[in-house]
Structure 1
Amino acid sequence: MSQARLKEYCDLQASTISYLVNDLKKCGLIKDAEQEQREGKVGKPGNLLALNNDMASFLGLYVEDNWIDTYWIGIDGRILEYKREKYGENSVESSIIDTIQYNMSAHGSIKGIGVAVKGIVQTDGTIKSGKRYGNWDGKDAWNFEGLANDLKKQFSEIPFIVENDANCAAELFHYNTKRIYSNCVTYLLNQMPFGIGCGLILCGQLYRGGNGSAGEIFEKGGLMRSLAGDRNAGQQNTETMIQAVMPHILTTGYLLNPNCIVLTGSCFEKITDQELEIIRKMLEDVPVKVEILSGQDLLNPAQGAALFAIDRYAADLVGEVTQR
């Protein structure tokens, strides 16, 4: 946008906007893009400004049972590259480090990294996560307790965000919808490998709760564990997962009264129109708007993790500038 539009948007004096823009240009974070189109308007067209992806880009990783999704995005949020790579029997942590090292050498402008994990990331940095499923004889490879500290030691010059995958999906939905919903609840329903998570955006911010586990789903009867056991037998489908999580959805809908509830995840990756219609009927009693994101609209937590990294970088940058 132009400096004039920035002035209107930020409600600041033109001289203040000019001062700030010049500072950001000196840092290389803003560049001149092109002249704005002013058809039918009088006056000299202004130069449009754009964030400079060549100066600052970010990585987002989503760690699954046997693969890692990696998004490389610019500071303007644009996706520059996406990859899914399997890592076999290597340890999860070493695979994360290898992926980061490769991308750091390939992309010299990386200023922050976000990692989405399918576990509870507590406020003290402790990560509580379940077992890794697959052909590893029940090997428990999800020991992430020291992951954040290990990454900081390995890559001391790069700030890291480690966050729950459903929280990352919630942040991505919030971003994709231009933050029009100040209160929304996102359910991440994954079929292969199995997983059910929930992320909360309340009053325009991610809500993590007192210890970081807000939104987690507790189910006493063992149905969730049964669904996890059925996944390899081909007995699990999206409808049964919706039935299992329906009490939580209804309670959340009435208790929090969000603007909308979002359902996404690999359960909806190849779902048919007929199945979608059945699920929509199942959700008719939910007291708020429900959006189902399927196919190309699925929310990948890796991209949300990268957005968290951008937010951290921007906050740190503002903090440095205000202290000068």
Structure 2
Amino acid sequence: MDRIRADVDSRPPVPARTHDRPYRGDDDFWRVRGLLLETYPITPVDFNWEIRRWDGQRFYREHQDPAGDGRIHLWEDEGGRLIGAVHPEDAGDAFLELHPDHRHIEEEMIAWAEQHLAVTVEEGARRQLDVFAFDYDVPRRRILTRRGFERLPEGAVTRRLRLGAGLIPASQLADGYGMRTTCPGVGDAQRIADLLNAAFDRTVHNAAEYQAFTTTSPSFRHDLDLVAEASDGSFAAYAGVTYDSVNRRGIFEPVCTDPRHRRQGLARALMLEGVRRVRALGAVDVYVATGETNPANELYDSVGFTEAYTGGSWRRVW
């Protein structure tokens, strides 16, 4: 009898029944956000999006809700509990937010993305989709390989700084600059837009999008929104910090410096002040993400980010 019971108990568990459905709007936005908060302590580093990135998809576009365009899809268990979501960030890509107890639905989620989020490319009207996977994520990389995806050369890296009782170096700005937090209103919003455009060589940023995020996003705090101000009143560097109080972690996004003010330690000073502020709030670690070959990695090393987790987009063309 004991032998029979042992044989039965050693069988692999039968996956729980699940069902999928379209994303329906505001209630589902908060449910996905709750899933991100819930799964952070039980998943590998950056396995799912952090809340600032999810909030940005909604509130950085003047409160646009993507519910009506069919680009977000959800999975629930038998009891109606949310266990997974697929969504894009840009055209032709897909990101998976997934409870780790339900990785058996991951291939189904990718198959849905292939059907609904792929874009048509010029060569012979073929379809194309990019899916992100960390290099540590062997199960996802196996699924992607089996479905015909190949990893693209350019990678990304998430860095983590564990906070303890150690001293944080003082934030010292070069002569001619002052540090402060941003203020509500069009003036600072326009300065931030100008800085982002200069730092990232863009033209798309404007005051309205920044105001939309700062006035509607639940993760934004002006006391964690740090700038280095030049003597002429323009913003020379910027470090936006989010504090996830549920998981006691800080998130830097974005971090940038106007090209005219680089190599003066401005961004480093802002980040050190940001680390100091979130630790005072109770943070136990801090995160920042960037491109794998981005020179900003030298900055993050100098601040003390000692852990690095690489990954990249995998592409299928068919």
On whether the aligned pair clears a TM of 0.5, the verdict is no
TM-score (norm 2): 0.32
Structure with the largest fraction of strand? 2
TM-score normalized by the length of structure 1: 0.31
- With a CA cutoff of 8 Å and minimum separation of 6, indicate the structure with the bigger relative contact order: 2
